[in-house]
Structure 1
Amino acid sequence: MGLPTKLSPFMCSALLFYTVFASFPFAITSADFTNLVYKGCASQKFQDPSSSQTLKSLFDSLVLQSSQKTFLSTTSGEGQNAISGLYQCRGDLTTSQCNSCVKKIPTLASKLCGEVVAARVQLGGCYLRYEIAGFKQVSGTEFLFKICKSDQASGSSGFEEKRDSAFAMVENGMKNGTGGLFYAGTYQSVYVLGQCEGDLGTGDCGDCVKSADQKAKTECGDSISGQIYLQKCYINYSYYPNGVPSITSSSGTVGSRHHTQRTVAIAVGGLAAFGFLVVCLMFVRQLMKKHGGKHGDYY
């Protein structure tokens, strides 16, 4: 079937609507805050068959709340079969991003760990952990995982001093409550980010981050970037010899990128819509001229 040779006003409107909104899917992108960082799985499996359903109920509750809060700790079940769990989203994520991050974890936990009595899954922007009643407790500063880039800053002028000053900045920011339980910033050529678990006080948060900073020095040495994960806090840092890119926090990076893409999509859609509008107006003008020749002008 061929295309119509004439455009009706209704078709113009439909084309205009389609052109504007067809451009918007290009603004949707995936973000690295849902990428897997690491997983920790207990070796012991559930003994009680009902524990699987209890864990599912816990996951459902945590995922539901993640659309409203960036941290939640709760318990599902009772007695020896109770399972406690929590999630923590990075402080620069919106609740929508937090939910997108957290809701990926239950499936990952099941795939990576199976039905174990305790597990923790860490993504780029959030983590979720759970444990059955009576599971062994560990210190909030227990060392869990590290990522140290192989590239070294050896020979770079003042790397250690800049890194240590950046660490001190984030420690003080946490202790003073400047950034709450999340802090991100730049000191000269070093970008640093710290996040604590939501039930920590600012003093304990600062102490936890300080432990993570010290661990970064011993574990990563002169690596130009590193990530250190403790039980109740984590940090990551990056060294840019030629200067940190024009960002002040990870929220600024993500926000700017999304804003730019939305702007481009709207601009492209707007230009295309304007083009169709011009075509439609020209058609209507010609139509009016024809009607004017036969029946007189409209005005």
Structure 2
Amino acid sequence: MTFSFSKTLKSTLLLILLLIFTNISKSSLDYTTLIYKGCGKQLSDPNNIYSQSLTTLTTTLIQQSSRSKFYKTTTGGPQSSISGLYQCRGDLNNNDCYNCVSKLPQISQNLCGKVVAARIQLLGCYMLYEVSGFPEISGMQMLFKQCSSTNVAGSGFEMRRDTALQVMQNGLVSGNGYSSTTYQGVYVLGQCQGDLGSSDCGLCVKSAVEKAQVECGSSLAGQVYLYKCFASYGYFPNGVPAKSEGYSSSGGGYSSGSGQNTGKTVAIIVGGTAVVGFIVIMALFIRGLKKKDDDF
């Protein structure tokens, strides 16, 4: 009786382990998790003129996201003009792009409320809007950076990372403003805003790469978002999972600050360690059950 119960318990635990591992992996790689938010000042809109224009704008952006990975437009009259855009990562298909972009307006509303400008960056897409007359921002301005707390100075990692970053930059022209590559376990990714020319794109990503190298130093992972491009890198010795670059986040944008939901993004390296630790614990537990069965 005990032997049969133990066998059943082992099978159940293995099934639970598989389900938990699958859910952790999916949540860690979710391209709709938040990287950062940027919120402008509160919008004075007593007659809801701008609110109507913003609703029209976001509806148009969502509709377009099922057909293209980048779209920019302006809505509203002379007194209520709002310009905005969205962009999806180059490796997302149209369906994933739509699913990502369709979440942005509600997230913006929850985190920023009614403001004169907002920028919401998810792992797989971002959206921004600005009312007419909002101060122009340089494409090279840094909005957000994140560096891993794990430092590997003296290990030769920086040389591998820098080689991978250079290969990524070289691929931007042929990749239409998007490029990713892996070199000796280092995964890098870069992307420019869709309306940026190839020359300006190259300069923008070069600036982002240089800032990542300086700001993050020997950190095992890092990402830098400028106004019109971004670059990120991470070390994945066992292979790169799909949609992988994501690190815990807060702040960034027009007036930086962490929101209630800004800590959602789970670092792959940290998440992977948790999964491995859980597997080891479960394996030892099952091993203990087997030993009891053998003794029985």
Q: TM-score, normalised by structure 1?
A: 0.69
Aligned match of 1:75? 74
1:228 Cα deviation after fit = 0.7
After TM superposition, the runs of 4+ consecutive aligned structure 1 residues lying more than 6 A away are none
Residues 120, 209 of structure 1: CA spacing in aligned structure 2 closer, same or farther, 3 A cutoff? same
Aligned match of 1:217? 213
Letter in 2 for 1:98: C
Q: Distance in 1 between matches of 2:238 and 2:184?
A: 7
Letter in 2 for 1:161: M
Aligned match of 1:15? none
Residue correspondence of structure 1 range 39-188 to structure 2 within 5 A: 39-47=37-45, 49-156=48-155, 158-174=156-172, 177-188=173-184
Aligned match of 1:35? 33
Q: Is contact 2:40–2:118 with CA below 8 Å preserved after alignment?
A: yes
1:245 to 199, 216, 239: 239
Aligned match of 1:203? 199
1:191 Cα deviation after fit = 0.8
Letter in 2 for 1:106: P
| Cα deviation code 1:243-276 (max 9, x no counterpart) | 35167x749xxxxxxxxxxxxxxxxxxxxxxxxx
Q: Distance in 1 between matches of 2:238 and 2:76?
A: 48
| Cα deviation code 1:162-200 (max 9, x no counterpart) | 1111111111111xx221111111122311011111001
Q: Is contact 2:53–2:81 with CA below 8 Å preserved after alignment?
A: yes
Q: Distance in 2 between matches of 1:99 and 1:35?
A: 15
Helix, strand or coil at the partner of 1:79:
coil
Unaligned runs of 5+ in 1: 1-25, 252-299
Larger radius of gyration: 1
| Cα deviation code 1:4-40 (max 9, x no counterpart) | xxxxxxxxxxxxxxxxxxxxxx99x665100011100
Q: TM-score, normalised by structure 2?
A: 0.70
Q: Distance in 2 between matches of 1:32 and 1:244?
A: 19
Q: Is contact 2:31–2:243 with CA below 8 Å preserved after alignment?
A: no
Letter in 2 for 1:245: G
1:98 Cα deviation after fit = 0.3
Q: Distance in 1 between matches of 2:103 and 2:142?
A: 24
Letter in 1 for 2:122: L
| Cα deviation code 1:28-67 (max 9, x no counterpart) | x665100011100002323352111110110000001101
Q: Distance in 1 between matches of 2:175 and 2:238?
A: 20
1:203 Cα deviation after fit = 1.5
1:228 to 213, 224, 234: 224
Hey, which of these two has a bigger chunk of helix by percent? 1
1:155 Cα deviation after fit = 2.9
Q: Distance in 2 between matches of 1:126 and 1:246?
A: 19
Letter in 2 for 1:57: T
Letter in 1 for 2:133: G
Unaligned runs of 5+ in 2: 1-21, 245-296
1:151 Cα deviation after fit = 0.7
Greater relative contact order (CA < 8 Å, ≥ 6 in sequence): 2
RMSD: 1.9
Q: Distance in 1 between matches of 2:57 and 2:163?
A: 41
